[in-house]
Structure 1
Amino acid sequence: MSTLSWNCRGLGDPRTVREVLDMASRKKPDFIFLMETKVARDHAERLRVKLGFQGLFYVDNRGRSGGLALFWRTNDTVRLLSYSRNYVDVEVRVDGLAPWRMTGFYGFPDFGDREESWNLLRRLRFRSMLPWVVLGDFNDLLFQYEKRGRCRHPESLLRGFGEALEDCGLIQIPMIGYQFTWEKGEGTEDWVEEKLDRVVATDEWRGVVEGARVYNVLTRRSDHSALFLDIRPGEGFRGGSRQFRFEMAWLLDEGCREVVEEAWGGRFAGPDREMWYKVAEVGW
């Protein structure tokens, strides 16, 4: 069982639609949550048909912004609990697991509205007692190291977001891969990267779905990465999507060796976004 979450920044571009289809083909998620779809429902319905999924719940965009879409592969696995322009909240029932709750969340992007995002999470907390996981673009940071750029993030916002998660009993699930999920101004002195997208869950949910892992999936058609939440009931990753493992034998291939040497050749002192693109192209 798995979920793909992505702030796609608009489904009106056919290249974005192709990227969604490509990720779905490679990752084979059971659920897909898309934010900032920016199109009418009929666009999302056509995407559902192309995906071969049976279910879709759509929150309409307003003008040229907004829009949420939750797709599910198989009927009878989802029951809608509530929704708004900023979230879709569902009960999930899949074979091999007790019922649990999943919320696709899109936080308010403006600094002045962050408290509204935090209070929305607090209100959602008490709408169901099921084990709970929340994923999406929170438009918020928890720590200074979740940002790389010229200006520090306001401490009051770090503290406010952290307190909201604590009040809700939500704990961040560590992310595998590149540690920033959004960037702006690449190649300029104003280049900023931040970890705005994440998956958080209650202890109860982590007890139900032991071994859940979150991967950062770098994308081409948005300034946001996608997140892949992978769950293999009772068996971790055995028999499922395999983790990336570098094979020394690949270096015997001249083209592969050139890619790896260029990516890991020390151009950057810290983690490099392009390196992760190239590693993904080589073997993940």
Structure 2
Amino acid sequence: MNLVVWNCRGALKPNFQDYVHDLVRQHDPAIFVVTETHVGGARARDITDKLPFDGAIHTETIGRAGGLWLLWNSDRVDVSFLANSEQEIHSTVKVRSSNFSWMLSAVYASPRRVERSILWNNLSNIADLHKMPWVITGDFNEPLTGADKFGGRAVSVNRALAFKDCLDKCNMVDLGFSGPRFTWTNGREIQDLIQERIDRFFVNPDWYRIYPEARVTHLTRSHSDHCPVLLETMPQRRIHLDRPFKFQRYWLSDLSFPKVVSQAWRQPTQLHEAIQTFATNATIWNRNQFGNIFSKKNRIRARLNGLQRIIAIRPSSYLLELERNLNQELEEILNQEHDLWALKSRLNWMVQGDRNTAFYHVSTLVRRNRNRITAIKNSVGEWIMNEAEVMDFIRRGFCDIYSSSHNTSKWSARPIQSGQACLNMRKEIVYGPG
């Protein structure tokens, strides 16, 4: 299921409806959020009746400014209205294909700081009223960090902190994005050019655990000074490669692990052969010794639950001792799980908190999405989007760089010529949460 948010800068523009139809054909969104429509009341309903959605919620404009529409297809999602104001629409979304339910808040933050503060307070108050998976999206009219702005005055620290404080109270996670870095531009010449990332999707950890592969893309900007932003909850299946070998910290807690290391170095051999032997043996040992930590944790908890039911009826010394042993085993597995997620998230867990595995889990998933290369430019400036084509382009780039044009046995590096196709990992290709 896909969601699109777009600041159209006026829904009365001649090509507005054509562009919405084009976005729907390309990206098939079940939900479409339109901000800064400049249209409200009956006129807004007349326009949305002509769009390819059968559900709509509108907010009133302030004079000819503002305006926020939430549109959806009822055959794919069931949207229930909760509340709204000039800057926000709150609703619950039930996805018919999966039966998942979550909360969606569509916002158009006022350009005026005082009114934006009202929105931040409203969102913070709503966070205290529910425990649902939650998405907040729209035009926030406020860069969050210095990396979210190019040109003009520096990002206001006080305003950014107020925005961040609201997101922290709502327990929101930035999914990152692929595509161009900025979502809005003033369209002026380079000396006066200002660009900002202010159209965004934020989700809480409960929502992200439902859709761990969710991906945000900044689409091509046209018909407005804002680009549409696409959220794919379940992107098309990517090519799966074999996972590289990784040392796991929790292996050190097992007394049999040193034997795995010593066996790999027992025979006199070259370094790369010993490393390969260790990686192979450690992978087999991990599978046999630990198995799946998460499945083992669930099995022990199920045994404890059954045991405690029996103890409640017929307690005995044997059963109490067995309960203590199972609790001790569960504690060891929880420590291993904690180490696993802390290692994968690459965060300082002493600062972030003790055994906050939900936090580590979401941090790891966000980092994985941030590190993906979803698009790359070729030597003539064209974007390559297909994953197989991206892989082939990178492979050919390396072959081109490390091949020699001379018939000689001695390898020498060739300088990369201007315009030559090469691998170029840049922030605007894939950018994660700041």
TM-score norm. by structure 2 comes to 0.54
- The structure, 1 or 2, with the larger RCO (C-alpha pairs under 8 Å, 6+ apart) is 1
Q: Determine the structure 2 residue equivalent to 1:159.
A: 161
Bigger Cα Rg: 2
SS in 2 for 1:238: coil
Unmatched 5+ stretches in structure 1: 251-262, 276-284
Q: Determine the structure 2 residue equivalent to 1:210.
A: 212
Task: Note the C-alpha offset of 1:271.
Answer: 7.4
Q: Determine the structure 1 residue equivalent to 2:67.
A: 67
Paired with 2:102 and 2:230, the residues of 1 have a C-alpha distance of: 18
Unmatched 5+ stretches in structure 2: 239-373, 376-384, 394-418, 430-434
Find 2:386's aligned residue among 245, 253, 262.
245
Q: Determine the structure 2 residue equivalent to 1:196.
A: 198
Paired with 2:115 and 2:49, the residues of 1 have a C-alpha distance of: 36
Does the C-alpha gap of structure 1 residues 90 and 24 become closer, same or farther in structure 2, counting only changes over 3 Å? same
CA contact (8 A) 2:6 2:227 kept: yes
Paired with 2:194 and 2:72, the residues of 1 have a C-alpha distance of: 34
CA contact (8 A) 2:219 2:228 kept: yes
Task: Note the C-alpha offset of 1:159.
Answer: 1.6
Deviation string 1:2-36 (CA, Å, 9 cap, x unpaired) is 11101111111121221111111111100111111
Task: Note the C-alpha offset of 1:62.
Answer: 3.0
CA contact (8 A) 1:180 1:193 kept: yes
Task: Note the C-alpha offset of 1:164.
Answer: 1.3
Find 1:103's aligned residue among 98, 102, 105.
105
Corresponding letter in the other structure for 1:81: L
Q: Determine the structure 2 residue equivalent to 1:77.
A: 78
Q: Determine the structure 1 residue equivalent to 2:139.
A: 137
Paired with 1:43 and 1:87, the residues of 2 have a C-alpha distance of: 19
Q: Does structure 1 residue 36 correspond to structure 2 residue 30?
A: no
Does the C-alpha gap of structure 1 residues 264 and 117 become closer, same or farther in structure 2, counting only changes over 3 Å? farther
Corresponding letter in the other structure for 1:36: E
Q: Determine the structure 2 residue equivalent to 1:7.
A: 7
Task: Note the C-alpha offset of 1:42.
Answer: 4.2
SS in 1 for 2:89: strand
Paired with 2:420 and 2:148, the residues of 1 have a C-alpha distance of: 22
CA contact (8 A) 2:17 2:51 kept: no
SS in 1 for 2:129: coil
Paired with 2:68 and 2:188, the residues of 1 have a C-alpha distance of: 27
Task: Note the C-alpha offset of 1:45.
Answer: 3.4
Does the C-alpha gap of structure 1 residues 74 and 157 become closer, same or farther in structure 2, counting only changes over 3 Å? same
Deviation string 1:207-244 (CA, Å, 9 cap, x unpaired) is 11221111101221111111111112xxx4239xx982
Corresponding letter in the other structure for 2:211: V
Q: Determine the structure 2 residue equivalent to 1:281.
A: none
Task: Note the C-alpha offset of 1:148.
Answer: 0.4
CA contact (8 A) 2:102 2:133 kept: yes
CA contact (8 A) 2:62 2:86 kept: no
Does the C-alpha gap of structure 1 residues 221 and 264 become closer, same or farther in structure 2, counting only changes over 3 Å? farther
CA contact (8 A) 2:187 2:225 kept: no
SS in 1 for 2:169: helix
Q: Determine the structure 1 residue equivalent to 2:360.
A: none
Does the C-alpha gap of structure 1 residues 112 and 90 become closer, same or farther in structure 2, counting only changes over 3 Å? closer
Paired with 1:264 and 1:45, the residues of 2 have a C-alpha distance of: 53
Task: Note the C-alpha offset of 1:114.
Answer: 3.4
Corresponding letter in the other structure for 1:102: L
SS in 1 for 2:22: helix
CA contact (8 A) 1:11 1:43 kept: no
Deviation string 1:56-114 (CA, Å, 9 cap, x unpaired) is 11112232112111111125611111111111111111121421111111112123443
SS in 1 for 2:29: coil
CA contact (8 A) 1:97 1:209 kept: no
SS in 2 for 1:133: strand
Paired with 1:9 and 1:79, the residues of 2 have a C-alpha distance of: 27
Q: Determine the structure 2 residue equivalent to 1:91.
A: 92
**Aligned-pair Cα RMSD in Å:** 2.9
Identity of aligned residues (%): 27
Paired with 1:214 and 1:97, the residues of 2 have a C-alpha distance of: 22
Q: Does structure 1 residue 170 correspond to structure 2 residue 185?
A: no
* Structure 1 residue ranges (4+ consecutive) displaced by more than 6 angstroms after TM superposition: none
Paired with 1:117 and 1:130, the residues of 2 have a C-alpha distance of: 20
CA contact (8 A) 2:138 2:199 kept: yes
Paired with 2:68 and 2:420, the residues of 1 have a C-alpha distance of: 38
Corresponding letter in the other structure for 2:85: S
Structure in which a larger fraction of residues adopt helix: 2
CA contact (8 A) 1:182 1:193 kept: yes
Does the C-alpha gap of structure 1 residues 63 and 114 become closer, same or farther in structure 2, counting only changes over 3 Å? closer
Q: Determine the structure 1 residue equivalent to 2:285.
A: none
Paired with 2:28 and 2:140, the residues of 1 have a C-alpha distance of: 24
CA contact (8 A) 1:213 1:230 kept: yes
